Amino acid sequence: MASNSPSPEGIDVPETPTAGAWGEWNPTEDSARSVRGKHRVLKQRGGLARSSTVLGVGVIAAVGAGGIATAQDRPQVAISMPSLPDLPDLLGGGGHASGAAGTDTAAPAGTAAAQGAGIPGQADGQGHGQADAGEALRHRILQQAESQQEAVETQARADAERTAREAAAQEARAQKEAADKEAETARAAAEKAAAEKAEADKAAEAAATTAAKAAEGGTSGSATGTKASGGYSLPTSSYTLTSHYGDSGSMWSSGHHTGLDFAAPTGTPVKAVGGGKVISAGWSGAYGYRIVLQLDDGTEVWYCHLSSMSVTSGTVGAGETIGRVGATGNVTGAHLHLEVRKGGSTVDPLAWLESKGLSV
């Protein structure tokens, strides 16, 4: 029995088609076979399904051809047409059906509905692809951040190592400069000590030479013993005169020599040149150990650079030992520095001694 449902596109299907209305037609078993199952729908190149409208037209054509077929020797074949609202299920979700009219409405090409309905699983594929692209972008960003962090840390390490090397080099230079300075100071001290030793050796050699000559009979300018004349005596024995009164030079603070130097070995006895009183004895700066003897007429006789002092106060007589020759204070060798002062001013000790009848 033919279907009475209105067909799409407004085409009326006759209830009982006859051979006279359509002409004589002898359908075969294959051509009269009713339409069943899903129709094959070709897909477009973009991955989208064909429009559901085209599919609907194809279905109507097939139904019409099968519904009007008649056979002279066979009873009419009932043709069943699937309900249009069920077409999306038959076509595998390839179109959108209008329930009331029974016709299909094509979705615009390229829209999400057409793409989603025409290509099953495409929406999921696109979502998965976008997720993969986002993950890849995130991975690249993390890699770039790690690379930049690594570069920063490498640069920081290089800067720290360079700073440490510069600090070590600076400290090494400072230590070298300090060592050089200490070595220079030690060299200067050694040179000074060598000069002082050489001067002392020279003075000792001169004293030994004088002593040897004195043993042979003596010479002018030297003395073998204490010579007294009218209550006066030479200040020491076995000596050599090395510096005279008035000699100039940088060794003396006043710019000139204020006394008479008797070079003699350390420990040689020092005598009082006349009777008097010891008014001072002790350390006196550049003079070293000094004894000041005041004679009866008020003249002061200074004995300087002594190694020891035998008398530090009281009255003494001419020729009495009051100390011993040394090298204390500002000296270059062992000797007795003798000064003679009258009224607070120095006079030539050599001339003063000779005026007392002493042969120096």
pLDDT tens sequence across 112-144: 444 444 455 555 666 677 788 888 998 999 999
Q: What residues have CB less than 8 Å from 356, skipping those under 6 apart? A: 229, 230, 232, 273, 274
Q: Which pLDDT does position 238 carry in this prediction?
A: 86
Q: Which pLDDT does position 94 carry in this prediction?
A: 44
* Statement: residue 234 has pLDDT above 70: yes
Going by pLDDT thresholds of 50, 70 and 90, the confidence category of residue 15 is low
Measured distance CA(295)–CA(300) in Å, rounded: 6
HSE of 149, CA atoms in CB hemisphere, 13 A: 6
Residue whose pair of structure tokens reads 């997720």 in the numeric block: 131
Q: Which pLDDT does position 46 carry in this prediction?
A: 47
Q: Which pLDDT does position 192 carry in this prediction?
A: 86
Q: Which pLDDT does position 55 carry in this prediction?
A: 55
Q: Which pLDDT does position 102 carry in this prediction?
A: 41
* Statement: residue 281 has pLDDT above 80: yes
Q: Is the dihedral of CA 162, 166, 167, 172 positive or negative?
A: positive
Q: Against a cut of 0.75, is the pTM above it?
A: no
Q: Which pLDDT does position 249 carry in this prediction?
A: 59
Q: Give phi and psi for 134, each to the nearest 5.
A: -65, -40
Provide the CA 215 distance to its chain's centre, in angstroms. Answer: 78
Measured distance CA(337)–CA(270) in Å, rounded: 11
Least confident of 101-105, 209-213, 301-305: 101-105
Least confident of 37-41, 115-119, 128-132, 220-224: 220-224
The predicted-structure confidence for 138-187, as pLDDT tens digits, reads as follows 899 999 999 999 999 999 999 999 999 999 999 999 999 999 988 988 88
Q: Which pLDDT does position 129 carry in this prediction?
A: 72
Helices (H), the chain: 19-22, 52-67, 87-90, 112-118, 122-216, 349-355
* Statement: residue 91 has pLDDT above 50: no
Q: Give phi and psi for 42, each to the nearest 5.
A: -75, 140
Beta partners for residue 269, in sequence order: 324
Q: Which pLDDT does position 326 carry in this prediction?
A: 96
